[in-house]
Each structure stands twice: as structure tokens, then as C-alpha cells.
Structure 1
Amino acid sequence: MQTSKKSQQLSLVIAILCCIVLPLIGYIKIGLPPVIIVGGSAILAFFLWYFTYLKHPVEPEVILPLFIFTVAGLQTHIIEEYLSGFGPAMSRLFDIPWSERSFLMVFALVGPTIYTLTTWGLYKKLPLAGFVACFIFIGPGVAEFTHFIFPLISPRLEPDNVNSISREIKGVQINSMPNYYYKTTHSYYFAGMYTAILPMVPGIYAIRRLIRVRQTDKRN
């Protein structure tokens, strides 16, 4: 069933604002890396959503299980990220103020609230819920491959020091910043790398499924 023009237009405006405002907030609060990762994922998600879900929402029995499995994998992945100090590790890697408090606020508190509402929205076939789902499939889904690249990047802060460090970055005190640089630790690992594949598998499959469903709809 096709959504109304008014609903499509309103959803478009909100989605475009999200693509602009969220990366901007990330840049102001943390720095450039969130703009590249979050902003890039949001733009790709926008096009995926525009061509697959916006005008013709996918049936809940198709997209809802994929979204739930992706979020479940993501939340499991976030547990490893928290235990291994993902926020502080990123702070040391890029010299940005990403504290554990802000990490938990976004990924452990605000995120699950949005995911819960999105589940309801997908069930009701609301266009905007499809945009959030596409963002999750691409952002915390496909983009998790960056965990396998981070160990190869030399940290901006004391790359040759294998020990965790603490310091103030842009007025924010960041404690216990671990170093996962491969050349220093001689161990190929970065915070969250072991479970990064958990949201990637259902996320990538969901993208393929959305595209195939849309192609099938066009032929019929």
C-alpha cells in the first residue's frame, strides 16, 4: 500500500533534518569522525529508504524480524564495546572527547528507546520508521567493518605507549584511554571487534532483502 503524499513529504523533511542535524551535533560535541561515520551512514540510509520504503512500506513480517535481529546483535556488540572501552579508545585514536558517559547515554539509553519506537513504527508501516531501520542496517550494521580497520591506524595520542592514559581533551576529562594500535600492542584487536559481525550479518541481509522486494514490486 502506498503512503499518502503528505506523509511522504513530512517524513522526507524529518529524514533530511536528521541527516544534517545529527552529524552536526556529533561534530560540535565530539569531532569530525562522527560526521564521517554517522553522516555517511545517514546519507546512504536516506537513499536506500527513499527508493525502497518511503512510498511503499515493506510488510512488517519482512522487515521487522530483520530489524529486531540487527538491533539484538548491535546491543550485544555494545556490551563488548563498553567492556573494552570503545569511547575512550576512539578518543585516543582521533584526539576527540568521547567519554564513557556520553557513550552510554547514546548507545545504552537513548538508542534502545528509539529502537523500541521504531519497532512499533515498522509494525504500523510508518515511513519514518523505515528510515531509522535503514540507518541501523547501514550504520551499526554495515559500518561495523571499521572495527577491523581501527587497529591499523596510529593513535593521535601517544601511539607508542601501550598503557592506558587519561587527559583532558577539549575541556572534557577522558579517563583510561586504551591503545589498540597493532604496531604497539602486537595484537590485532580494537574495542568491540569480536562481536562487530553480529549486527553486520542481519543488516547486510536486510539491505539485500529491501532491494529485492522493491525490484519485485516494480515488476508486478
Structure 2
Amino acid sequence: MQTSKRIQTSSLTIATLFCVVCPIIGYLKIGLPPVIIVGGSAVLALFFWYFTYLKNPTEPNVILPLFILTVAGLQIHIIEEYLSGFGPAMSRLFNIPWSERSFLMIFALVGPTIYTLTILGLYKRVPLAGFIAWFIFIGPGVAEFTHFIFPVLQPAIEPTNINSISQQIKGTQIDNMHNYYYKVTGRYYFAGMYTAILPMVPGIYAIYRLTKKHKPIK
């Protein structure tokens, strides 16, 4: 069933605001990396969503399993990120104030709430739910490959110190910042790297499947 013009316009407006406001908030609260990763994923999601789901929402029996599998993989991945200190490790890598509390609030509490509501929205073919789904397919689905790049990047804070450190960054106390720099540790690993592929596989497949399925409305 095709989405009405009024709902298309309002949904597009809200999604566009998301693509602008969230990266700005991320930049002000944390720094540039969220703008590049989150903002870039959001813009790509907006593009794919506009040409697929917005005008003619995908059938729930097609998109829902793909979304649920991607989110399930993402949640397992977040467990590894938490246990290995992803937020503080990113803080040390890029000199940004990303505390463990902030990480848990966003990815362990707010995120699952949004995913649950998105599942209901996809079932009801709500256009904005499709945008969130595309954002998850492209963000965790594709952007998780950055985990395999981070080990070769020199940390901005004490790159040659192999020990975990704690200090204030831009007025925020960040504790237990691990150093995963390969040249120092001799181990090719970064927080969350082992399970990064779990949301990538269903996410990338979802992009392929939904793009292939799309047929322009005449």
C-alpha cells in the first residue's frame, strides 16, 4: 500500500531533521567521530529509505526478519563492546569524552527501546520505522567494519603506554581507557572486533535484498 503524500512529507522532514540534529548533538557531546560514523550512516539510510520504503513500505514478512536478526547480532556485539571497554577505548583513540555510562545509556538502554518500537512500526508499515531499519542496516550493518581499522590507528592519548589510564577529557572523567594500538600491544584487536561481523552479515544482506526487491512506482 502506497504511503500518502502528507505522511511522506512529514516522515521525510522528521528523518532529515534526525540526520542533522543527531550528528550535531554527537559532535557537541562527544566529538567528530560520531558525526562521521553516525551522520554518514544516517545520510545513506535516508537515501536508500527514500527510494525504497518511504513511498511503498516493504512487506513485514520481508523486512522484519532481516531487522530482528541485525538487531540481535548488534546486541551480542554490544556485550563484547561493554566487556572490552569500547567507549573509553574510543576516548583514548580520538581524545573524546565517551564514558562507559554514556555508552550504556545509548546502546544498552535507549537503543533497545527504539528497536522494539521499530519492530512494531515495521509490522504496521510506518514510514519512519523503515528509516530506522535502514539506519541500523547501514550503521551496524556496514559501519562495523571500522573495528578492523581501529587497531592500526595511533591513539591520541599516550599511544606508547600499554596500560589502561584514567583522566579528564574536556571536563569529563573517563576511566579505564584501554590501549588497543597494534604496534604497542602486538595483538590485532579492538574492543568489539570479534563480534562485529554478527550485525554486518544480516545488515549487508538486508541492503542487498531490499534494494533488489525495490521496483519504482509508476
TM-score scaled to structure 2, two decimals? 0.99
CA distance in 1, matches of 2:41, 2:122: 20
How far off its partner does 1:218 sit?
A: 3.6
Alignment of 1:153-192 (within 5 A): 153-192=153-192
Structure 1 stretches lacking a partner, 5+ long: none
Aligned match of 1:203: 203
CA distance in 2, matches of 1:46, 1:199: 20
Task: Name the count of aligned residue pairs.
Answer: 218
CA distance in 2, matches of 1:11, 1:218: 19
* Matching of residue 144 in structure 1 with residue 144 in structure 2: yes
CA distance in 2, matches of 1:55, 1:147: 34
Read off the aligned partner of 2:29 and give its amino acid letter. K
* Matching of residue 110 in structure 1 with residue 110 in structure 2: yes
CA distance in 2, matches of 1:54, 1:161: 50
CA distance in 1, matches of 2:164, 2:209: 43
CA distance in 1, matches of 2:44, 2:190: 25
Report the secondary structure of 2:151's partner residue: helix
Read off the aligned partner of 1:86 and give its amino acid letter. F
Read off the aligned partner of 1:104 and give its amino acid letter. L
| CA deviations over 1:43-66 (Å, ceiling 9, x no partner) | 000001001110010000000000
How far off its partner does 1:77 sit?
A: 0.1
How far off its partner does 1:141 sit?
A: 1.2
CA distance in 1, matches of 2:51, 2:149: 30
Aligned match of 1:15: 15
Structure 1's consecutive aligned runs of 4 or more residues displaced over 2 angstroms after TM superposition are 217-220
Aligned match of 1:71: 71
Report the secondary structure of 2:176's partner residue: strand
* Matching of residue 45 in structure 1 with residue 45 in structure 2: yes
Read off the aligned partner of 2:2 and give its amino acid letter. Q
Report the secondary structure of 1:163's partner residue: coil
Residue 219 to residue 122, structure 1, CA distance change in 2 (3 Å): closer
Residue 108 to residue 161, structure 1, CA distance change in 2 (3 Å): same
Read off the aligned partner of 2:212 and give its amino acid letter. R
CA distance in 2, matches of 1:170, 1:105: 20
Identity %: 76
CA distance in 1, matches of 2:197, 2:69: 12
CA distance in 1, matches of 2:188, 2:136: 26
Report the secondary structure of 1:58's partner residue: coil
CA distance in 2, matches of 1:67, 1:7: 23
How far off its partner does 1:219 sit?
A: 9.0
Residue 147 to residue 39, structure 1, CA distance change in 2 (3 Å): same
Structure 2 stretches lacking a partner, 5+ long: none
Read off the aligned partner of 2:43 and give its amino acid letter. I
Aligned match of 2:56: 56
CA distance in 2, matches of 1:128, 1:207: 17
| CA deviations over 1:12-34 (Å, ceiling 9, x no partner) | 00000000000000000000000
